Amino acid sequence: MPVPMHRVKLRERPFNQAAVLASSLAKKTGIPYSGNNIVRTRSDKPQIELSRVARLNTVRGAFRIRRPRTVRDKSILLIDDVFTTGATVNECARVLREAGAKYIEVLTLAQGNNMKILRDYILREMFPPLVLSIFIITFALLIGNLVKLADFVINKGVDLSYVFRIFMYLIPNLLNITIPMAVLTATLLAFGRLSSDNEITAMRATGISFIRIAMPAITLGLIFSLISIPLNDKVVPRAHYKTRMLIKELGMRKPTAYMEAGTFIRGFKDYILFIYEINTSRTGRLQQYKDISAAERRAHQDNSGKRRRAHTAARK
């Protein structure tokens, strides 16, 4: 005899997995099958989503026997798909005993453990692609910087310790991008695999809502969101500051490391430097220009205009 579903649930999912199990077992063993003698009188939330106290209160009075005479003095094998706290089968057994059943046995396909097994299973599916995505995406974003850092070491003779420290200070800023992308990638890969193997369908068939299935991924996303708060508030600004100080120190010790031929340097007050070429880590040709202010530039333009107008008038 299967644990019944309410007719509302049967309209949502037109089969009762406990009835499918019970009918198959009856065909294999020859035990008489009674599929509609015990009836569920109201529709409640799936038991696997409730606490133990809520389960006991929910199923109390939720079943009745249609034909009590057919179970009187009989041995009953009660079939259910998932056993969690036993609240459902205990209530079914209670109404069967009141109807006169002599002996009651319970057989279930699986045992639930407060969703811990399902949670751990989904997290195990997500963890490998999560870690792999963090490393791959971070490395992909670092490639452009690696070329420039390698140029510092090979062509400009910068000490390797400076380059390594700059490289390490780049990583916290990149984690702001890689962590959300890695969580999204891991979620898509894990649930894509579960969907392709019809495991999500099997979970839904046991009465587990999609929210409960997705809860491990949601929780993982919230954890990484909380980790990102101190990362953005403390670690990234500190890394930016350390990078600027390191570059300043490197510029004082080896000025040509950050100089590029054919570029302007505007870091000096009232002056602009233009670098023609750099040979053997020494500046080859350097041109100095005086940087005039905006007011001086306008005054110079006004004077030039006046001179042109005066020259034009003299010619006339």
CB 103 within 8 A of CB 75: yes
- Which residues are CB-neighbours of 48 under 8 A, at least 6 positions away? 82, 84, 112, 115, 206, 207, 208, 212
CB 88 within 8 A of CB 63: no
pLDDT in tens, the chain (316 residues): 888 887 777 777 777 878 888 888 888 888 888 888 888 887 766 655 555 566 667 777 888 888 888 888 888 888 887 777 777 888 888 888 888 888 888 888 766 555 677 888 899 999 999 999 999 998 888 887 777 777 666 666 667 777 788 788 888 888 888 999 999 999 999 999 988 888 888 777 666 778 888 889 999 999 999 998 998 888 989 988 888 887 777 666 666 655 666 666 666 666 666 666 666 445 455 454 454 454 455 555 555 555 555 555 555 5
Spatial separation of the C-alpha atoms in residues 133 and 52, rounded to whole Å: 39
Backbone phi, then psi, for 275, in 5-degree steps? -100, 120
Spatial separation of the C-alpha atoms in residues 131 and 264, rounded to whole Å: 43
**Residues 100, 33, 8: CA angle, nearest 5 degrees:** 90
Spatial separation of the C-alpha atoms in residues 114 and 212, rounded to whole Å: 11
